A and B are shown apart, each in its own frame.
Chain A
Amino acid sequence: MAADIRKLIVIVDETRKEMGREVKPATRRALAIAVIANPHAGRYSEKLDDLIEIGDELGGTLGRACVQALGIRPAQAESYGKAAIVGEAGELEHAAAILHPKLGAPLRKAVEKGAALVPSAKKMGGPGTPIDVPLGHKDAAFVRSHFDAIEARVADAPRANEIVVAVAVTDSGRPLARVGGLQKHEIKGEDGLR
């Protein structure tokens, strides 16, 4: 079952200055959000296979939308994250079905490689509920400069029978990152952690 997408939102957030200092190159973070119908709203379903397939579809759709909005080659993507907000007639597990089993593979294809876990967040909410989408480096989860989060919010969603699904992709870490830890040029890229 293909996702019934009511609306699609793509955001590019570019930081050029922080604390009076130039950020060069500017850090850029893209966020792609789909507002979809929840086929299981209002009832308990033992099997959530259709939501799992929707996750597969949206991982590609939203991942590519982010890369395209950033205007980069897939290999230039540096960090990623994902999140979902389930409307009140749904269940938190619906977010899990979309996010965890299948969304990652097509997203990794959209950003090339992606050895690291895709960090995630989920919650129940109503229209306008914000969610902070966690961000981590796509090839090594411990890269400290790339730990970040970007706020996703849709003024009129999720309605009770909807789910908001968000994917974030960046071409950079935090502006003026300077708290040490693993650096991106030190990535070994073997285990997705370091």
Chain B
Amino acid sequence: MIDVRRSLIQVETIYHEFGPRPAKPQQRGAILSVIANPYAGRYEPNILPMMEALNPLGVDMARRLLEAIGVAPEGIEGYGKGAIVGSAGELEHGALWHVPGGYGMREVLGWKNGKAGGNAKAIVPSTKKVGAPGARLDVPVTHINASYVRSHFDAIEVGVPGHPRADEMVVVLVMTTGPRVHERVGGLRASDIKGEDGLR
């Protein structure tokens, strides 16, 4: 059921944005898979089989992205996900990516069902849209353990030239290794995370 036609991995290393260079540059990575949309062109009431079928792709994409960024799982501090559905599909098809995308990333980043010692406790923020080939998507990023960490609110613009075609979907995972490069607007600090509810 899962037919991957193309993949695109992007890793961005940010040294500065006209301010002081941080000791460690921020890295932001994205992986995009172009897959066939088996439900394109019709209304299919039961689309859940595809959600299940996407789980291995989610794990595979998370692994490949981590490898491309080149850090250990503990080096990932922010994440997000998204989907662009081709024009013969519907927005709801993009929603199929919520569970497998989040699951894949948590699996790789050391999730322990929200229990102590685990990582990736926070909800994985997401965006989705129906778009034409070449459509761009701004994928939101938040801290992996506490959604309210202000320094890690970010977004990464992604897209695949030429895709999605009408009968395709582009599914996306993103990860970052740290806060915005010159973060300085206060709020909850990563060092102050309580880590109980995935929020603070």
A residues sitting closer than 8 Å to B (CB atoms) are: 5-18, 69, 128, 150-151, 155
Task: Tell me the smallest distance from the CB of A143 to a CB of chain B, in Å.
Answer: 22
B11–A13 touching, CB < 8 Å? no
Contacts of B183 in A (CB 8 A): none
Given contact pairs A6-B15, A151-B161, A11 touches B6 in the complex (Cβ within 8 A): no
Q: Which residues of A contact B11 (CB under 8 A)?
A: 9-11
Question: Within the complex, which residue of A7, A12, A16 is in contact with B15, where a contact is CB–CB below 8 Å?
Answer: A7
Minimum Cβ distance to chain B for residue A134 (Å): 14
One of B10, B16, B136, B161 near A9 (C-beta < 8 A): B10
What A residues does B6 contact at CB under 8 A? 13-17
Count the B residues whose beta carbon is within 8 Å of the partner chain — how many?
Answer: 21
Residue pairs across A and B with Cβ atoms less than 8 A apart, 9 shown, are A6-B17, A8-B13, A8-B15, A10-B68, A11-B11, A12-B8, A12-B9, A13-B160, A17-B4
Is there an interface contact between B4 and A7, defined as CB atoms closer than 8 Å?
no
Interface positions of B (Cβ within 8 A of A): 3-18, 68, 136, 157, 160-161
Nearest-CB residue, chain B, relative to A132: B161
Q: Are the CB atoms of A14 and B8 closer together than 8 Å? A: yes
Contact for A11 among B4, B9, B17, CB less than 8 A = B9
Contact between chains at B14 and A11 (CB < 8 Å): no
Q: How far is the CB of A163 from chain B (nearest CB, A)?
A: 15
Majority SS of interface residues in chain A? strand
16 additional contacts (CB under 8 A) given A6-B18, A8-B12 = A6-B14, A7-B12, A7-B13, A8-B15, A11-B8, A11-B10, A12-B8, A12-B68, A13-B6, A13-B7, A14-B8, A15-B5, A17-B5, A69-B9, A150-B161, A151-B161
CB of A166, distance to nearest CB on chain B (Å): 13
Q: Does the CB pair A18–B5 fall under 8 Å?
A: yes
Q: Which chain A residues border B8 with CB–CB below 8 Å?
A: 11-14
Contact status of A9 and B5, CB under 8 A, knowing A151-B161, A155-B157: no
Closest chain A residue to B26, Cβ basis: A7
Residue of B nearest to A159 (CB): B18
The residue on A at minimum CB distance from B11 is: A10
Min CB gap A76→B, angstroms: 19
Q: Are B3 and A17 in contact (CB under 8 A)?
A: yes
Q: How far is the CA of A6 from the CA of B10 in the complex (A)?
A: 16
**B7-A7 in contact (CB<8A):** no
Minimal beta-carbon separation of A155 from chain B (angstroms): 4
Query: Which residues does chain B contribute within 8 Å of A69, judged by CB atoms?
Result: 9, 68
> In whole angstroms, how far apart are the Cα atoms of A110 and B13 in the complex?
21
Bound: A12/B14 CA distance, A:
18
Q: How far is the CB of A16 from chain B (nearest CB, A)?
A: 6
Within the assembled complex, what's the spacing in Å between the Cα atoms of A111 and B137? 33
Q: Least Cβ distance of A136 to chain B in Å?
A: 19
Cα A179 to Cα B32 with chains together (Å): 29
Q: Which of A5, A6, A18, A151 has the most CB of B within 10 A?
A: A6
Q: What is the bound-complex CA distance between A84 and B11, given in angstroms?
A: 19
What CA separation (Å) do A128 and B13 show in the bound complex? 17
- Is the CB–CB distance between A14 and B7 below 8 Å? yes
Residues of B within 8 A of A10 (CB): 10-11, 68
